[in-house]
Structure 1
Amino acid sequence: MFNSTVGIRPPLVTAIIPLYNKVRTLARAIKSVERAGRDVPIEAVIVNDGSTDGSDRIAEALADRHKWISYVSQGNQGSANARNRACKLAKSQILAFLNADDEWQPNHARNLIDGFNIDPSISLVVNSWRRYTDGKRRLVRHFDVAPGIVSNHFLSMAWGDSYAAPSATAFRKRHFRGTGGFVETLVDGQDSALWAEAALCGRIWYTGRAGAVWHQDTSQIPMDYARRNRQSKYENWLEARIEMLAGTRPMGVALNGTILRHQMIENLICDCEVNGSMAAVMGIEWLRDARAETLEKWGRTDLAEAIRKTIPGSKPLTRLSHRG
């Protein structure tokens, strides 16, 4: 077995690991952090968020065995809360997120460090990732971003290109603190909101290099719950953020070298169309109407009318707002 550098020197990278009922995959995730620590000093902070399947016992045993692992436990307060708590405990200046059922590639930490070293204004570094869905490998997708500074973050989000998978992403600590961290009041899209803040407070660097393996378990995807829950969602956050920025400076002015107004609004319109259409198909009338009203507010009455005409149980709309 190789000699890892984790725990030997002050850490340069902290693995931020929220834990909820991942008894079968936690050890694999920790092993991948150890592999990534071959030549980079790393620590891991695990926050157990009320697991009931024995994950907490495995995490505690791993922390007892490895001094570079810190472990705390709390009642179930959600992954955003668990991540925020872990980030407060981190000793390094690079906060690298890792879901307890995903893995890091061996060079992930080194690639993150190289990205942050390019310029101190870089708030977020994103490595590439590959996905396994229900144990089957999927092809690596080609995104609308190229290696380097990401100038079209909101357009990429609008077009459905989630190039920034949480387990392949890291925040600079001072920028993370400036954003206030993950928004704990959102029922979904906490990571999307934080990546958006990274685009507003600094710059995002996409390395294009190997970073993480995303293990997607479709039986655990809570989208039905997220859509039916009346708690705020990413679209609500995004609209509020657009309006907040409009109140502080003229929108359309270059922010961090990028004109963001049209990008943010297109992101909002596309997300409202997609989620409004899905809500209509699922018969969630309050969400359908809420998203239709937002589309009308931002000048897309055509999309609002199409959503309202969608029949429950039918297929979702073909995206009318998508790029041509």
Structure 2
Amino acid sequence: MSAPANPAQHAPRASISVIVPSFNSARFIGEALDSILAQSLQPEQIVVVDDGSTDDTADVVRRYKDRRIQYIRKEHGGISSARNVGLDAARGEYISFLDADDRWRPIFLETMHAYLSEDPTVASVFSNFVRFQHPSGQLLSDQFQSYPEIKRPALLRDAPYAHGRIPKEKAFSALVACGDIPAYTQVMMFRRSMIEHLRFEPTLTLGEDTNFVLKAYLAGGVVFTDAVLAEVRRHDANATLDQGEMVIHKLNGLKALAPHVTRETDLRAYRDRLVRAHIDAALYQTRLGRVRAGLRTYRETFRISGSALRKLKGSMRMAMAVPRGLTK
């Protein structure tokens, strides 16, 4: 079988490292790599980290004869360890991640790179994206529908895509408050010099992206664009299929963030979000009949300073939920 062609082999390049973590993604990773090689602005390095796959991932990657593709195989250790291996190997001035089952639209890297290049105070940028159903290919709603705060006219303006800029002193507090925290690494680019000290938390099986991205939001300004520049696949092996259980993982990711949040303005926003996350997790546990676990999770809110009104409202919601649970 001949090597896949590179449709953008003559496109300009930039000092960008793309990290592609993969575990048993042989059926998808070719599309991910093709979407990288089709970018209007090409990366200088593509690091594929095979996290101990037992399928044909290695064979698929080896068909690509592009010297920029660096294949690293490691023992299976989870998505955090795979991304960390990629970070250790990355040499570019800018870093992006693309999950092996997702794909970028052709101007993703060019757009992200332009925002970072024009403002040295920006640490990270991210775009809107759509999900698509596998195997039908049906496009689902765009992700920014989950971020009503981002759609405010005060944050969006045309230049040439609708986009917003948040300075460093406001980035964390503004984005941690979003209903669904913008923490999707496959639609982000980071300035390496501002995040090179950061790593994904290996103790988190899920919620590791929320933890990492929020640490990046503490490091510098943030730019985001309303343009849909990536497509995220929904399929039977997605790690996040159980959206209910994700509230537990997101809470764990937020709790692990505590040592990194030190500025008072950030602390206020962080504590408020931490209370919200505890309440969401407590309600989820209670409604599943795990009442005692839910009550324990809710009681943890009283160890967090501030957010008295939110805690009171949480008490009312818990009071309504508990009678419907079965005590365990």
Q: TM-score when scaled to structure 1?
A: 0.79
Which deviates more, 116-125 or 275-284? 275-284
Work out whether residues 251 and 274 of structure 2, in 8 Å CA contact, stay in contact via their aligned partners in 1.
Answer: no
Aligned length: 295
Unaligned runs of 5+ in 2: 151-155, 157-162
Change (3 A) 1:210 1:304: same
**Do structure 1's residue 212 and structure 2's residue 230 form an aligned pair?**
yes
Shift of 1:114: 0.5
- For the residue of structure 1 that corresponds to 2:55, the secondary structure is coil
Counterpart of 1:187 in structure 2 is 205
- For the residue of structure 2 that corresponds to 1:71, the secondary structure is strand
Change (3 A) 1:228 1:197: closer
Work out whether residues 49 and 74 of structure 1, in 8 Å CA contact, stay in contact via their aligned partners in 2.
Answer: yes
- For the residue of structure 1 that corresponds to 2:141, the secondary structure is coil
Unaligned runs of 5+ in 1: 253-259, 315-324
Tell me, in whole angstroms, the C-alpha distance in 2 between the residues paired with 1:117 and 1:13.
12
Change (3 A) 1:177 1:20: same
Tell me, in whole angstroms, the C-alpha distance in 1 between the residues paired with 2:247 and 2:223.
35
Counterpart of 1:30 in structure 2 is 33
Work out whether residues 187 and 231 of structure 1, in 8 Å CA contact, stay in contact via their aligned partners in 2.
Answer: no
Shift of 1:264: 1.6
Work out whether residues 293 and 304 of structure 1, in 8 Å CA contact, stay in contact via their aligned partners in 2.
Answer: no
Tell me, in whole angstroms, the C-alpha distance in 2 between the residues paired with 1:218 and 1:154.
35
- For the residue of structure 2 that corresponds to 1:138, the secondary structure is strand
CA shift digits 1:48-85 (9 cap, x unpaired): 011122223322443xx221100011111111111111
Shift of 1:24: 1.1
Work out whether residues 176 and 270 of structure 2, in 8 Å CA contact, stay in contact via their aligned partners in 1.
Answer: no
Counterpart of 2:165 in structure 1 is 149
Superposed, which structure 2 residues align to 1:88-127 within 5 Å? 88-127=88-127
CA shift digits 1:242-299 (9 cap, x unpaired): 4xx2xxx5x13xxxxxxx3332222212222222211222344565234202222334
Q: TM-score when scaled to structure 2?
A: 0.78
Shift of 1:304: 4.3
Work out whether residues 238 and 268 of structure 1, in 8 Å CA contact, stay in contact via their aligned partners in 2.
Answer: no
Change (3 A) 1:121 1:78: same
Tell me, in whole angstroms, the C-alpha distance in 1 between the residues paired with 2:323 and 2:230.
38
Shift of 1:228: 11
Counterpart of 1:4 in structure 2 is 9
Work out whether residues 123 and 221 of structure 2, in 8 Å CA contact, stay in contact via their aligned partners in 1.
Answer: yes
Identity of aligned residues (%): 19
- For the residue of structure 2 that corresponds to 1:18, the secondary structure is strand
Counterpart of 2:275 in structure 1 is 269
Tell me, in whole angstroms, the C-alpha distance in 1 between the residues paired with 2:253 and 2:209.
9
Counterpart of 1:82 in structure 2 is 82
Counterpart of 2:160 in structure 1 is none
Q: Considering only aligned residues, what root-mean-square deviation do their CA atoms show, in Å?
A: 3.0
**Do structure 1's residue 234 and structure 2's residue 276 form an aligned pair?**
no
Change (3 A) 1:155 1:230: closer
